[in-house]
Amino acid sequence: MNLWEILRFALRGLSANKLRSGLTTLGILIGVGAVILLVAVGNGSSIKVKNSITRLGAGSLTVSTSTTGRGGGFGGGGQQQGSTGPRTQAKKLTLDDARALTESPSVESASPVVNASSATATYAGTSHSISQFVGTAPTYFKPANKVVERGASFTGADVTAGNKVVVIGRTVVTDLFGTVDPLGKKINVNGTYFTVVGVLAASGSSSTGFQDADDVAIAPISAVQGTLTSYGSLSQIVVQAKTPEKVDAAQAEVTEILNQRHEITGTTSDFQVFNQASLQSAVEDSSKTFTVLLGAVAAISLLVGGIGVTNIMLVTVTERTREIGIRKAIGAPKGAILGQFIAEATVLSLVGGVLGVAAGVIGSQFTIVGVEPVIVPSSIALALGVSVVIGLFFGSYPANRAANLRPIEALRHE
Partner 1 sequence: MTAPVLDVRDVTKVYGQGETRVRALRGVSLRVERGDYVAIMGQSGSGKSTLMNILGCLDVPTEGRYLLDGNDVRHLDEHQLSILRNRRIGFIFQSFNLIPRMSALANVELPLAYGGIKGAVRRKRALAALDLVGLADRVEHEPNELSGGQQQRVAVARALVTSPALLLADEPTGNLDTRSTRDVLDVLDRLSRAGRTIALITHEDEVAARARRVIRLVDGEIVEDSVR
Rounded to an integer, what distance in angstroms lies between the CA atom of residue 324 and that of residue 22? 23
Which segment (55-63, 135-143, 296-304, 403-411) binds partner 1 by CB under 8 A? 403-411
What residues numbered 336-375 form the site for partner 1, per CB under 8 A? 336
Torsion of CA 155, 160, 161, 162, to 10 degrees: 90
Size of the site for partner 1 (CB under 8 A): 21
What residues numbered 313-342 form the site for partner 1, per CB under 8 A? 322-323, 325-336
Which segment (128-136, 156-164, 221-229, 406-414) binds partner 1 by CB under 8 A? 406-414
Least distance to partner 1 from the beta carbon of 13, Å?
A: 9
What is the residue type of 252?
Answer: A
Residue 11: C-alpha distances to residues 306, 308, 324, 344, 385 (Å): 19, 18, 16, 7, 20
- Of residues 157 and 408, the one with the C-beta less far from partner 1: 408
What residues numbered 9-48 form the site for partner 1, per CB under 8 A? 12, 16
- Of residues 16 and 124, the one with the C-beta less far from partner 1: 16
- Of residues 261 and 322, the one with the C-beta less far from partner 1: 322
Q: Which of 1, 124, 292, 296 binds partner 1 (CB under 8 A)?
A: 1
Read off φ and ψ for residue 97, nearest 5 degrees.
Answer: -55, -50
Per CB under 8 A, does 212 bind partner 1?
no
Read off φ and ψ for residue 192, nearest 5 degrees.
Answer: -110, 135
Strand, coil or helix: what is 357?
helix
Per CB under 8 A, does 186 bind partner 1?
no
Least distance to partner 1 from the beta carbon of 23, Å?
A: 19
What is the residue type of 181?
Answer: D
Helix (H) or strand (E) holding 44: helix 18-55
- Of residues 263 and 414, the one with the C-beta less far from partner 1: 414
Least distance to partner 1 from the beta carbon of 321, Å?
A: 12
Strand, coil or helix: what is 185?
coil
- Of residues 72 and 333, the one with the C-beta less far from partner 1: 333
CB contact at 8 A, 38 and 297: yes
CB contact at 8 A, 200 and 166: no
How many other CB atoms are found less than 10 A from the CB of residue 8? Answer: 13
Q: In angstroms, what is the C-alpha Rg of the chain?
A: 34
Give residues in contact with partner 1 (CB under 8 A).
1, 5, 12, 16, 322-323, 325-336, 407-408, 411
